[in-house]
Amino acid sequence: MRRAGFDDPQAARLYRVFADFILGYSAVDAGLAALEPAIRDADLLSWEIQYRTLPQGQYLNTAANFTTTVDLMIEAIRARAATPRDPSTPPGIRA
């Protein structure tokens, strides 16, 4: 983050936001993985059955959500890095 031009407070905040997302997503995934195999399989099957009953093409495949979200976060950080910071703004804040 510092190589991208962020000062220490900004770099720390962006790193923390990104890490919090990854940890939160991982916690949800870990919760599913921690279920007894029969319960986990039943849960996954119920989601699959629900999606199969929806009109084809009307709903997106949610398997790509994680990658899409990471890509969006990286794009937002790049955009923020490309935006000059107003020198009158306190460190760690971008207007």
| Cα distance between residue 24 and residue 92, in whole Å | 24
Better pLDDT: 84 or 77? 77
pLDDT at 53 (0 to 100): 80
pLDDT at 65 (0 to 100): 84
Per-residue pLDDT at 17 exceeds 80: yes
| Cα distance between residue 68 and residue 76, in whole Å | 12
pLDDT at 93 (0 to 100): 63
34-83 pLDDT per residue, tens: 999 999 999 989 888 877 787 777 776 677 788 999 999 999 999 988 88
pLDDT at 84 (0 to 100): 77
